[in-house]
Amino acid sequence: RGSGEAMQLSSKKKLHALSLAEKIQVLELLDESKMSQSEVARRFQVSQPQISRICKNKEKLLADWCSGTANRERKRKRESKYSSIDEALLCWYHIARAKAWDVTGPMLLHKAKELADIMGQDFVPSIGWLVRWKRRNNVGFGARHVLVPPLPPEPPSPGLMAQAQLPLSLKDFSPEDVFGCAAVPLLYRAVPGIMGACDRVQVLLCANSRGTEKRRVLVGGLQVAPTCFFGISSEALPASYHPNLGIPWSEWLAQFDKDMGQQGRQVALLLAAQVVEELAGLPGLYHVRLLPLSASSTTPPLPSSVVGAFKAYYRHRLLGKLAAIQSKRDGTSLTEARAGLTVLDALHMAAAAWAKVPPQLILSSFIQEGLAPGKTPLSLDRGSDMPPVPSGLSREDFLRFVDLEGEEPGPGVCKEETSTEDEESGRKEGFEPLPTKADALQALGTLRRWFECNSTSPELFEKFYDCEEVVERLCCL
């Protein structure tokens, strides 16, 4: 009996899935000949119910065949779990191809993640997902849909000026691919009523018009190797440091271009016309297109309200830092407290201030300045986008303090920048030893104990736990 059942099972026809092209042939046979469904089933070595299902789906099959976008050799059409992202990406792909963009795999992955974020879906596209998406939508199967151009790209233009003169406009880029940047002068340790000429640094800020991407802050100073950087890893710093007040445009643009290339993107960078003129002769860029603003334009390449918010958050953090120094050392004057602040402190405060500038403020400001598409400018609630006024200052005094750079600094002399060799060597000899792993772990215990004794909120403890976990992991490396 067992062998009989086995023979019965082996004699059954194996499931044979038909491709779209074969299904169309089935429909043609049924329409043009007098063959029955059973006869057609025998010819294609499938079951009669399969032929019946093909007849029921006749209109859909014909629509897929005529559209030219379906893979005609694919046998089963499985719907994607993220069908809305699938459709949105396909729509964007057709628009990109219509504009003759060189659409690459990394570019599609980046756009899919971006669309998922906009739709509020927790989705991270993978290479496998992209392969299946291409197969579902016949992307890359025909001559009309190619992800990689058949010919090598044209060589880059000889200089940035030639590139800047291309007939490009904001309309050629999506809002998330339009960036603005500004070099912001900053008196990094000025306090109300006290500021010195040596306190000036230059901060380069860059963000896209949607506020979803902020580039790493770059701080240019007056020192080649500030003593406060002794023993510090540059990779661990929250911002980049350049030992010159001028912006190193060549290096910065090269890194920006490299980063965008790794993401498979073509982006626009808004710059003042005079800056673009100064960049003439620099090597060409592959992925960053410079869009110079008109020389007569009063619109800054990064909205002034964004710069103002950054400076307000920086000043607020600066006053908090000074108050902490005074609290640590009883009897310390404000002048003495500011003298203890270093360029390294400025890097941390600048990175913290830039992180606090709300994305919604950036988006609204770009629209109001006409640097991003939008039918009506979004209203700006300046109260919610600015830090609270520190105690002891009126709102007018704080706003004046925020924009100190417009005033002439006093003749103060900064020892850190003008010290002699003897002073320099003496300071190096007096350096506190670099903290060890044991010091870091002990500091964590002290900080937690202080929180426990001062009625700390659960939310603050959650942030402390994150910090504690990172420190402990680094100590175990």
Note the pLDDT of residue 192.
77
State the residue for tokens 């059942």: 5
**Is residue 469 predicted with pLDDT exceeding 50?**
yes
Is residue 322 in a domain?
yes
Which of 288-297, 300-309, 422-431 is the least confident region?
422-431
Is residue 428 in a domain?
no
Amino acid type, 441 = L
For residue range 214-232, what is the model confidence (pLDDT) as tens digits? Answer: 999 999 876 665 677 776 7
State the Cα–Cα distance between residues 347 and 314, nearest whole angstrom. 10
Where are the strands (E) in 198-281, listed by range?
200-208, 218-220, 240-242, 267-271
Note the pLDDT of residue 181.
93
Is residue 161 in a domain?
no
Within 8 A by CB and 6+ apart from 159, the residues are 280, 281, 282, 283, 284
Question: What is the CA 204 to chain-centroid distance, rounded?
Answer: 16
> Could you give the C-alpha distances from 297 to 9, 164, 300, in angstroms and in order?
82, 17, 8
Query: Residue 14 — φ and ψ, nearest 5°?
Result: -70, 150
Task: Compute the residue count for the chain.
Answer: 477
Mean pLDDT confidence for 152-177:
55
Considering the domain architecture, whether residues 264 and 353 belong to the same structural domain is answered as yes
For the whole model, what pTM was predicted?
0.58
Residue 275 structural domain: 166-406
State the Cα–Cα distance between residues 352 and 165, nearest whole angstrom. 36
**Is residue 163 predicted with pLDDT exceeding 50?**
no
Using CB atoms within 10 Å of the CB of residue 365, give its burial: 0 to 12 exposed, 13 to 18 middle, 19+ buried. buried
Considering the domain architecture, whether residues 220 and 271 belong to the same structural domain is answered as yes
Considering the domain architecture, whether residues 33 and 62 belong to the same structural domain is answered as yes
Smallest CA-to-CA distance from 29 within 11, 46, 41 is with 41
Is residue 7 in a domain?
no
Q: Which residues of 381-411 are buried (b: 16+ CB within 10 A; e: fewer)?
A: eeeebbbebbeeeeeeebeebbebeeeebee
Considering the domain architecture, whether residues 25 and 99 belong to the same structural domain is answered as no
Considering the domain architecture, whether residues 94 and 71 belong to the same structural domain is answered as no
Conformation bin of residue 132: beta by default, left when phi > 0, alpha when psi is -120 to 50: alpha
> Could you give the C-alpha distances from 150 to 68, 141, 145, 344, in angstroms and in order?
21, 14, 11, 50
Mean pLDDT confidence for 142-165:
38
Is residue 2 in a domain?
no
Note the pLDDT of residue 279.
79
Considering the domain architecture, whether residues 113 and 260 belong to the same structural domain is answered as no
State the Cα–Cα distance between residues 323 and 336, nearest whole angstrom. 12
Mean pLDDT confidence for 333-338:
81
For residue range 73-130, what is the model confidence (pLDDT) as tens digits? Answer: 554 555 556 777 887 888 778 777 766 676 777 788 888 888 887 777 888 888 778 8
Note the pLDDT of residue 80.
53
Token output for 367: 């629209």
Which range has highest mean pLDDT (53-67, 171-185, 328-342, 375-389)?
171-185
Query: Residue 423 — φ and ψ, nearest 5°?
Result: -60, -40
CATH number at residue 22: 1.10.10
Task: Let me know: does 202 contact 185? Beta carbons within 8 Å.
Answer: yes
**Is residue 291 predicted with pLDDT exceeding 80?**
yes
**Is residue 9 predicted with pLDDT exceeding 50?**
no
Mean pLDDT confidence for 62-67:
62
Q: Give percent above pLDDT 70 in the chain.
A: 72
Considering the domain architecture, whether residues 230 and 334 belong to the same structural domain is answered as yes
Note the pLDDT of residue 164.
38
Token output for 178: 């339009």
**Is residue 309 predicted with pLDDT exceeding 90?**
yes
Considering the domain architecture, whether residues 335 and 209 belong to the same structural domain is answered as yes
Considering the domain architecture, whether residues 196 and 104 belong to the same structural domain is answered as no
Beta-bridge partners for 219: 203, 241
Sign of CA dihedral 197, 201, 202, 205: negative
Amino acid type, 354 = W
Token output for 286: 């592959």
First CA to last CA distance, the chain:
66
Token output for 430: 């007096």
Q: What is the mean pLDDT of the chain?
A: 75
Question: What is the CA 350 to chain-centroid distance, rounded?
Answer: 18
State the Cα–Cα distance between residues 395 and 373, nearest whole angstrom. 33
Amino acid type, 340 = G
Considering the domain architecture, whether residues 21 and 95 belong to the same structural domain is answered as no
Where are the strands (E) in 352-447, listed by range?
none
Is residue 256 in a domain?
yes
The Cα angle at residue 310 between residues 367 and 247, in degrees rounded to 5: 95
Note the pLDDT of residue 123.
84
Considering the domain architecture, whether residues 217 and 296 belong to the same structural domain is answered as yes
Final residue of a domain: which of 36, 57, 77?
77
Token output for 13: 């026809």
Beta-bridge partners for 202: 185, 220
Considering the domain architecture, whether residues 188 and 266 belong to the same structural domain is answered as yes
DSSP letter at 240?
Answer: E
Higher pLDDT, 215 or 470: 215
Token output for 160: 């940035």
Is residue 388 in a domain?
yes
Higher pLDDT, 372 or 66: 372
DSSP letter at 265?
Answer: -
Higher pLDDT, 58 or 362: 362
What is the number of domains present in the chain? 4
Is residue 147 in a domain?
no
For residue range 388-446, what is the model confidence (pLDDT) as tens digits? Answer: 777 777 778 777 777 777 655 555 444 444 333 333 443 444 456 778 888 888 888 88
Note the pLDDT of residue 352.
92
CATH number at residue 129: 1.10.10.60
For residue range 29-53, what is the model confidence (pLDDT) as tens digits? Answer: 787 677 888 888 888 888 888 888 8
